[in-house]
Amino acid sequence: MNASPAYPDSKKHYPILDGLRGVAALLVVAFHVLETYSGNRFNQIINHGYLAVDFFFLLSGFVVAYAYDDRWGKMSQWDFYKRRLIRLQPMVIMGTVIGALLFYFQASPAFPLIEGTPVWQLLLVMVVGFTMIPLPISMDIRGWQEMHPLDGPAWSLFFEYIANILYALFFRKISQKALAVLVLIFAGFLVRYLVMGPQGDVIGGWSINKAQLNIGFLRLLYPFFAGILLSRMGKLIRIKGAFTVCSVLIALVLFIPRIGGSTQLWMNGLYESFTIILMFPLIVAIGAGGHINNKFSAKICRFFGDISYPIYITHYPLIYLYTGWVAKNKVPMEHGIWFGLLLFVVSVAIAYASLKLYDEPVRKWLAKRFLVKKMVAADVLA
């Protein structure tokens, strides 16, 4: 019988957005490698690399709305949740497993709790990590108070799941005007925190305490739901060389040095407000409106898109290892950066191997098992 999905992914794809997601993910890896040598948030080489997470949230909102807004007449909430879990959860498990396997090799002064963590506790944290349930600070096994101490970036997936639930429960039903009002309110909250808050930046969101959860929700609400609004408005920008232009813009906004230093936090807050609220939607609008005109660019966008999520969710255990090695041996940047470059290459290799040998086959099997009504879906990996 011919393959046929229960809910076919028949809409046109946005290959440039896939490519941009990969560009941002690769810059995140570079940011984390170089962050190892920074003394604090005011002195980093890719000083705004953490804003890639906010870009991911906006991009995710855009794609979710585009893919699912018109499907609710034939798709239940549970169908939606299953599709999102199948898309995201297998690599969460892979990232957590890699984190557990490398955990004891990361022991160093940078991670004071590792040496005293028994194996049973590590295994418990790993199993909890598979479920995306955030760990309270009292269960920390590393010393950084992360909600997912085996795979730090999983905190953003925790908020991604919250956003998907909010979308399925409420935001898919509201009008475009009501959504625009809410997005403006979320933008106001974000600007207020950035300009008048204690940091002048959005760094944070990965711990289960009041302050960190506040940052996490502030980082989530405007970008994700602004992405939904952008998708529904359909106001795309068409220019030549959209992928190159957008890639350069992403690099520029992430590489801009910290503005205002430690004495004028509001100045950097204004910059990050501008970037998240205006620049990221502009980049997505250009990327979604652009076209790929040659096979080479199409291959680049496809490859970057394919590895974007795997590399984001699997690279950080290697960063823990690298950070521990640098801290333990007091390795200067001029010597350690070569190993950082090797880490970058290995991260790409692990991401690609995880995608082809694990993620795609697992998602295909899960889709056959839980999504297909009568026949096997040929496009379940979209």
188-241 pLDDT, tens digit each? 999 999 999 999 999 999 999 999 999 999 999 999 999 999 999 999 999 999
Position 257 confidence tier, pLDDT thresholds 50, 70, 90 = very high
Q: Is residue 382 part of a domain?
A: no
- Residue 372 has a pLDDT of 72
How far, in Å, CA of 67 to CA of 60, rounded? Answer: 10
How many helices (H) and strands (E) the chain has is answered by: 14, 0
Residue 342 scores a pLDDT above 50: yes
- Residue 133 has a pLDDT of 97
How far, in Å, CA of 144 to CA of 173, rounded? Answer: 39
Residue 307 scores a pLDDT above 70: yes
Q: Which domain holds residue 193?
A: 15-370
Position 40 confidence tier, pLDDT thresholds 50, 70, 90 = confident
Q: Is residue 9 part of a domain?
A: no
Q: Is residue 375 part of a domain?
A: no
Q: Is residue 10 part of a domain?
A: no
pTM for the full model?
Answer: 0.94
How far, in Å, CA of 251 to CA of 27, rounded? Answer: 8
Low-confidence winner among 3-12, 164-173, 217-226 (lowest mean pLDDT): 3-12
User: How many domains, in total, are found in the chain?
Assistant: 1
Q: Is residue 152 part of a domain?
A: yes
> 124, 230, 218: which is closest to 162 by C-alpha?
218
Q: Is residue 8 part of a domain?
A: no
Q: Is residue 337 part of a domain?
A: yes
Residue 8 scores a pLDDT above 50: no
